[in-house]
Amino acid sequence: MNYPHPIIAREGWPFLAIALALAAAVTVWCATWSIPLWIIALFVLQFFRDPARAIPQDAGAVLSPADGRIVAVERVNDPYVQRDAIKVSVFMNVFNVHSNRSPVDGTVQRVQYFPGKFVNADLDKASLENERNAVWLRTTDGQDITSVQVAGLIARRILCYVKAGDVLARGQRYGFIRFGSRVDVYLPLTASVKVAIGDKVSATTTILAQL
């Protein structure tokens, strides 16, 4: 969850170490041939960046749990809490920060993992067909928010560090997805959505909705 770390997420340390070691080793042998490996190392470095974010303190604000682009805003059934809800989906490409953060202050009611497919996370069917991990949060005033990490075409690893009973603060880091994916946020029907399809959003700093 919250832990002291530099600007590079700890999930990326092994990958970055391997990429740098390979690039350095090949440089010693042939500098020209090492160029593609240094490019790969730079990609790994940017993918696992995890910068600190300013946290809006607006009462009732639901923050974006991920960086990316809004690909869905629609009324649906929330299959994890069994209710009608508004779903706001954030699609992350490989150039976005992939650290996931809590959208609200709340207590984790349940964490559910579902194995599944790895179709393009930009497609709407990915929400219910792909591998995913749902975190059901309840705010102090009794509002239910579901934040669902969804694997994508390239992503093969969803990491979630919370369990039922944990208390999260808005903007608190709770998971990570490698390497391109989406996060679906299910909101109460009374929520006022502040984003639209196509909008670019930033984890924690962008307000998705007001409760």
Helices 35-47 and 13-29: angle between axes, nearest 10 degrees: 170
Q: Rounded CA gap, 29 and 8, in Å?
A: 28
Annotated active-site residue 192? The verdict is: no
**Catalytic position from the list 102, 147, 181, 192:** 181
User: Hey, what are 66's tokens?
Assistant: 């991920």
Q: Rounded CA gap, 9 and 16, in Å?
A: 10
Q: Would you say how long the chain is, in residues?
A: 211
Handedness of CA 145, 107, 162, 105 (dihedral sign): positive
100 CB neighbour count, 10 Å cutoff: 28
| CA torsion, ordered 18, 92, 202, 125, to nearest 10 deg | -150
Helix (H, G, I), strand (E, B) or coil at 17: helix
Catalytic residues: 181
